Amino acid sequence: MNEMERIDCEEAVQRLAEYLDQELDPDGSTELEQHLERCRSCFSRAEFERQLKTSIRENLGSADVPAPFEKRVRLLLKGLVEGE
């Protein structure tokens, strides 16, 4: 197939965030994926941004619970149950 490259690096970088957020329409995604298959630099960039996004989700999704807070929640529930 002798297909012309539809988008350049600048366009690819511009679309990348929406692509990783799964907000890009199917045509736009396909064009970007075709670019990523051929462009090492944009591919590395996409991998980096994807992993950073994953790291944010995994790290900020949960927190260490301070013991006094767990106690506060248990007391709160005890109060609510007894208050009925």
42: contact with Zn ion by CB under 5 A: yes
Residue 30 binds other proteins, judged by CB under 8 A: no
| Helix orientation angle between 9-20 and 26-38, rounded to the nearest 10 degrees | 120
Q: Are 30 and 1 in contact (CB under 8 A)?
A: no
Cβ neighbours of residue 36 closer than 8 Å, sequence gap 6 or more: 12, 42, 43, 46
Closest contact distance (angstroms) between CB of 32 and other proteins is 16
Q: Pick from 6, 9, 47, 54: which binds Zn ion (CB under 5 A)?
A: 9
16 binds Zn ion (CB under 5 A): no
Q: How far is residue 84 from each of residues 22, 75, 79, measured CA to CA in Å?
A: 46, 15, 9
Identify which range of 4-12, 25-33, 61-69 contacts other proteins by CB under 8 A: 61-69
Summarize as ranges the residues that interact with other proteins (CB under 8 A). Answer: 17-18, 21-23, 44-45, 47-49, 51-53, 55-57, 59-65, 69-70, 72-74, 76-77, 80-81
